[in-house]
Structure 1
């Protein structure tokens, strides 16, 4: 099941947060580059003081304890009136009741 989900994230190029059980750490905002057998290749960036580092790391599927992805985000600085709601949706994209 985890293999299929990672394969989906790989094809969608969505950023994921991966928890590695053996290292007890999270890899944040990684991209799943490829999956070959039980080996998952992740690409991610890390900041270290005044430098940024890009990494590509291969991990075994069984060392991954959890994978999560961000569904949505919004700015807290904006007011509630700035948030789009269903009423702001174009007519062509609205869901109409089947009743």
Structure 2
């Protein structure tokens, strides 16, 4: 199952975070660039005070404890929600709440 999921992430080019069991560390914002047999090749960047480094690592599928991906994110700076013009009226979010909702 994990092998198939890793293959799917590789073909889709999705950004993932990977936990390596044997090293007890997370690799954040990595891209799986190759899967050959039981070897996985990933590419990611790290940032220090003075420089940004790009890394490419290979490891075995069995050393992967977990693979996660970010599904969505919402900016905290811009709190305005955008509504599609073709959204049904019943599903639209209105700025002014009904009077019954404003009661304390």
TM-score by length of 2: 0.79
CA offset digits 1:36-95 (Å, max 9, x no partner): 01000000000121101100000100000000000000111222xx123xxx2353x87x
- Rg larger in structure: 2
What stretches of structure 1 of length at least 5 have no aligned partner?
95-99
| Aligned mates of 2:19, 2:58 — CA distance in 1 | 13
| Aligned mates of 2:49, 2:69 — CA distance in 1 | 26
What RMSD over aligned residues (CA atoms) do the two structures have, in Å?
A: 1.5
Q: Which secondary structure state, in structure 2, belongs to the residue aligned with residue 72 of structure 1?
A: coil
Q: Which secondary structure state, in structure 2, belongs to the residue aligned with residue 3 of structure 1?
A: helix
Q: Which secondary structure state, in structure 1, belongs to the residue aligned with residue 23 of structure 2?
A: coil
